[in-house]
Amino acid sequence: MKVLILLAYYNRPVMVKNALKSVAEQQGNWELVIIDDNSDKPLTQAILEEENLKDRFKLYRSDQTKEDKRVNGSRHGFYMNKAIEESKADIGIILCDDDALYPGYINNLINFYKVHTEVNWSYSHLVYFNPKFQVPNPSLKKENEGLKRWEWGSKARIDQNNYVLPINPAYKLDSSQVSWRLKCNLEKNVWFAYPKTKDLDADFFTKMFQAYSNACFTGIIGQYKGVHSDQLCNKSGNYMYVTR
């Protein structure tokens, strides 16, 4: 089995290096498609080669102007669909340019779908990481403990003893958690909308829910999730998806 990684990129040439490195270090069978929504700071060949991804990716770059996107909506979904149509992979996942894949995720995901042949789509654990609120706990003397446990700021509603927590799908699935069998796109005609700018992933997952009901929980860890004001997980400053 093979996993298609759809990496959404826009104006984050430094931060995206974490995402690219995390892909390059995956041991499973994968292919990477990067979609650059006509960034002012486009991804360069040098950045991609720096993260050991030479000849291991496909890059789509939109030629839409900002005014065109404002008036007519983004064609990002068009390129997502194009990547799926041209892919030989079995499973699809989305990776945002400010997140990173968890070590071993691709292999674990492939094994999950091999065992659970009845599952069409699923969601996984996330590890939240926010440098603004997450700092090593100085009270811990052992260095290895300092890497495992953290002192959280008041805004972070996270279990102090376990920073790997599941997301509550009753509210909303974040794009970084979800995987699906690419056959679903053809089987039920489930595609990304375009032209569309807002909540592109949420629209897609709504269609998946309508076609296949609830997503299955894998029980594995999928990604490191950054926490920023423009992400689904932090609207209005509330960490509404974190469950204890």
The CATH code of the domain that includes 32 is: 3.90.550.10
Which domain does 208 fall in, by range?
A: 3-125+175-229
Residue 237 included in any domain: no
Q: Which two tokens stand for residue 138?
A: 């100085």
Contact 191, 83 (CB under 8 A): no
The letter for the amino acid at 166 is: P
pTM of this structure = 0.77
Q: Which residues contact 101 (CB under 8 A, 6 or more apart)?
A: 5, 19, 22, 23, 26, 95, 222, 223, 224
Q: Which two tokens stand for residue 38?
A: 């006509």
Residue 56 included in any domain: yes
Q: What counts of helices (H) and strands (E) characterise the chain? A: 8, 11
Residue 132 included in any domain: no
Q: Among residues 190, 195, 220, which one has the least CA distance to residue 206?
A: 190
What distance lies between CA 148 and its chain's CA centroid? 23
Q: How many domains does the chain have?
A: 1
Q: Among residues 243, 106, 116, 98, which one has the least CA distance to residue 167?
A: 243
pLDDT tens per residue across all 244 residues of the chain: 999 999 999 888 877 888 898 899 999 999 999 999 888 888 888 888 888 888 889 999 888 777 777 777 778 899 999 999 999 999 999 998 888 888 899 999 999 999 999 999 998 877 765 544 444 444 444 433 333 333 333 233 344 444 433 333 333 456 778 999 999 999 999 999 888 766 788 888 888 888 988 888 888 888 877 654 333 333 333 333 332 2
**CB-based burial label for 180 (10 Å; 0-12, 13-18, 19+):** buried
